[in-house]
Chains A and B, each alone.
Chain A
Amino acid sequence: MVENAKKVKRTYSRYEKKEHKQGYLFLTPAIVILSVFIGLAVLFVIYLSFHKVNLFTGQYEFVGLKNYARVFQDDIARIGLKNTLMFSAVVVPIQTIMALIIAAILNSKIKGTYFFRTVFFLPTLTSSSALTMIFMFMFSVSGPINSLLLKAQIINQGINFLQDPSFALKVIMVMNIWSTIPMYTTMYLASLQDLPASMYEAADIDGAGPIKRFWYITIPYLKPLTTYVLLTSIIGTLQMFDQAYIFSGGSGGPSNSTLTVSLMVYKYAFGTQNAMGYAATLALILAVIIMVISRLAEKANGEERIY
């Protein structure tokens, strides 16, 4: 009975109908802008992915699923995807956990909280291309990292972090983790400000130590925010482009170790081959992968959300 009752169509009064119209009226500007700049763009990308495109001459040749078939035979695309997933798999958990811990520490009553907050937030304010340049200097053969390692006699010859395929992506990982932690720390901190002190006090009386309090109060309390942090950092890392581009001068080298899917899209779209169709296909596949992984992460962290 109850089930059926829900399905009965509601009739709206004239006043309500008027209100709905007003609502849609207010939404119109946003809908128009979104549908032109996002909706149409997405549709155009889908259209492109089924064509061989020459944007210069305006020639669109329908090729069916050929672009898609190519992606699955493309070894280089597999390397790009592997690098991208690896990057995400390393960066996202470290980022989230570190941000959570740092936020909890900053929220405790240690001295100089404001000073630390300011200092920690600085990397986020710096542009990521500038950061890349700084990191490339730090990790260069004659840079500070190498001289430190040399002085400590851990190594006896400078490591060429930037040119060595086994290090290049790791340097970018370190950089990305370092530069995005503060952003998430700040979000966690803001949320922690609202956490009622009485919960901690109660736990204190029950005899919970700082670690238990962190584990049983702080983490569950921040769970909805964690979902958000996970999602944004998964999306951000899977779309990583600028750092790899600057790092490798756009080539994805050495030996394809810094080649990401976004970088491949860029190379095909803006190279000298008119491969916009293939680039669109790669971009779409990346979008699907991001959607699937984000959904999985959301599920894994429970359905609570704040957005």
Chain B
Amino acid sequence: MRKHFKKLTTLSMAAVLTLGSMAVTVQAEEADFAGRTLNVGIWGGNDQETAALEKMKAEFEEKTGAEIVFKTYTDYNTQIQADFIAKTAPDVFYIDANVFPFYSSLGVMEPLDPEEMEADQYYENLLSAFTAEDGTLYCIPKDVSTLATYYNKDILDEVGVSPDDIPTALEDYKDFLTDLQAKLDEKYGEGQVAAMTYNPELSRQIYILEEGGASIIDEDGMATLSSDGVVKNLEFYIDLVQTGAVKTPADLGLGWNGEAFGVGKAAIMEEGNWVYGTLKTDYSDVNFGVKEMPTYNGNQHSMSFTVGYGISSVTEEKELAKEWIKYATGEEGMQIWSSGAGCLPSRAAVADTMDILSDPVWAVHSKMIDVATPWQRGTTLSIVDSAYKNFVPAAYKGETGAKEAMEQADKQANSEIENSI
């Protein structure tokens, strides 16, 4: 499907480029943005992200003569809600796909014209993540990240396991990881290095839980974590965890997978492409490889996380805001952003120009876009996720059964949902 898409884009590329550059010059003559100010709401990132944003800002300011002011949120969802209510939100802001259904239902964002924003240039599943139920487009995806399997070559090598031995099916992980854990224990001492790390949260496990037609949330937005299909899938993963070979970063006393992997406490992890930069800069001595996500039940899955730019419905700088989005998610801006911040471009054409396939790590992450489940599921997702995180650890530890834990989670989530209706 993606090949097809690529062909289409390359074909339209030339036309778009010529037309596009004409359009830009025409518009620049029409609208004069000199001396105007645009507020852009973002959340803080690492140094590389900040540097990329600053570069984009400088280029955009030079091009248009407008001034860009970044408003950095530290607790994004709390703070921007207050800004929306007070009608003081920035002119244009980040929206994470997982909270998009909530914000799009509130009418705080300006509808976007798909044609004007060149919507056909973006990956389709990312665009649909920013399209409301009634078909209105509200945000343009600025980037995408996917999960892939990372392995520590040196650790595997030390215990005589080849990266090729890592199974392609999750069903084969149990035997493989048990064997690997035994070898690791022998080499490094009991419990010193985990064969693999995992995160007991929906953003990492939803595709496993929903495999085979199961669903964690029904059409009304109520939690159905304790439905048979979900529990069956959860039991499969619990079985894997109870081998003792799969641990959470917290079990290892560390903050996240990337840290556990970076300090050599885990041999394998499933992590997003943001970890690539971390591994290169903070843990440059780790010799790692990346491969595709395993299949489960014969289907390959991954997760995709995407963030888009939306325009405030009360902004007075609508045109300038659109201009910023066109620039930041256009070819030039996206290239600066993606290469700087370490995300995958959300435009196939930019992926081609950046030649990301030449980098084996990027190539794998890019390939995962097609099989990835977008991290988004209606307005009640955060409540269901919070209830899941609350009760699932007991099930993984074997203190309660999977069914029982999920029933408790359902009860909590649904009472929270009902209390707010």
A275 at the interface (CB under 8 A from B): yes
A57 and B78 contact, Cβ closer than 8 Å, known pairs A76-B416, A271-B383: no
Nearest CB on A from B283, distance (A): 18
The verdict on A56 contacting chain B, using a C-beta distance below 8 Å, is: yes
B250 and A160 contacting across the interface, CB-CB below 8 Å:
yes
Q: In the bound complex, do residue B251 and residue A141 qualify as a contact, i.e. CB atoms below 8 Å apart?
A: yes
Question: How many of chain A's residues have a CB under 8 angstroms from any CB in B?
Answer: 33
User: A38 to B77, alpha carbons, bound, how many Å?
Assistant: 25
Which of A54, A254, A278 makes the CB contact (< 8 A) with B419?
A: A278
CB of A162 within 8 A of chain B? yes
A211 to chain B, nearest CB (A): 44
A278-B84 contact given A256-B390, A273-B379, CB 8 Å threshold: no
Contact (Cβ within 8 A) A274 B420 = yes
A175–chain B nearest beta-carbon distance, Å: 18
Tell me which of A57, A162, A255, A275 contacts B391 (CB under 8 A): A255
Q: Could you tell me if B419 and A255 are in contact, using CB atoms closer than 8 angstroms?
A: no
CB-CB under 8 A from A273, the residues of chain B are 379-380, 383, 416-417, 420
A54 CA to B106 CA, complexed, in Å: 9
B199: interface (CB < 8 Å): no
- CB pair B390–A255 under 8 Å, yes or no, is yes
On chain B, the residues within 8 Å of A274 by CB distance are 420
Contacts of A278 in B (CB 8 A): 419-420
Provide 19 A-B residue pairs closer than 8 Å at the C-beta atoms, listed in order of the A residue. Answer: A74-B415, A76-B415, A141-B250, A142-B252, A143-B253, A251-B390, A252-B390, A255-B391, A255-B394, A267-B386, A268-B420, A270-B78, A271-B382, A273-B380, A273-B383, A273-B417, A273-B420, A275-B420, A278-B419
Interface residues of B in 228-259 (CB under 8 A from A): 250-254
Query: Given the complex, which residues of B lie within 8 Å of A54, measured CB to CB?
Result: 106
- A186 CB within 8 Å of chain B: no
Q: B-side binding surface: helix, strand, loop or mixed?
A: helix
- Judge if B102 is at the interface, Cβ distance under 8 Å: yes
* A124 contacts the other chain (CB 8 A): no
Interface SS, A side: loop
CB pair A141 B253 closer than 8 Å: yes
- Contacts A70-B419, A273-B383 known; list 11 others, CB within 8 Å: A55-B85, A74-B415, A142-B252, A158-B253, A163-B250, A250-B386, A254-B393, A255-B390, A270-B78, A272-B382, A275-B419
Residues in B neighbouring A16, C-beta threshold 8 A: none
The 10 closest A-B pairs by CB, nearest first: A275-B420, A142-B253, A273-B420, A253-B390, A272-B102, A141-B253, A56-B106, A140-B253, A55-B85, A270-B78
Residues of A within 8 A of B391 (CB): 253, 255
Q: A251-B390, A271-B383 are in contact. Are A56 and B250 (CB under 8 A)?
A: no
**In the docked arrangement, what's the CA distance between A70 and B417, Å?**
12
The yes or no answer to B361 lying at the interface (CB within 8 A) is no
CA distance A277 to B221 in the complex (A): 20
**Bound-state Cα–Cα, A55 to B83, Å:** 11
CA distance A163 to B390 in the complex (A): 10
Interface residues in B336-385 by Cβ distance below 8 A to A read 379-383
Q: Which residues of B contact A270 (CB under 8 A)?
A: 77-78, 81
Across the interface, A272 reaches (CB within 8 A) one of B254, B379, B394, namely B379
| A224 lies within 8 A of chain B by Cβ | no
Is B99's beta carbon under 8 Å from chain A? yes
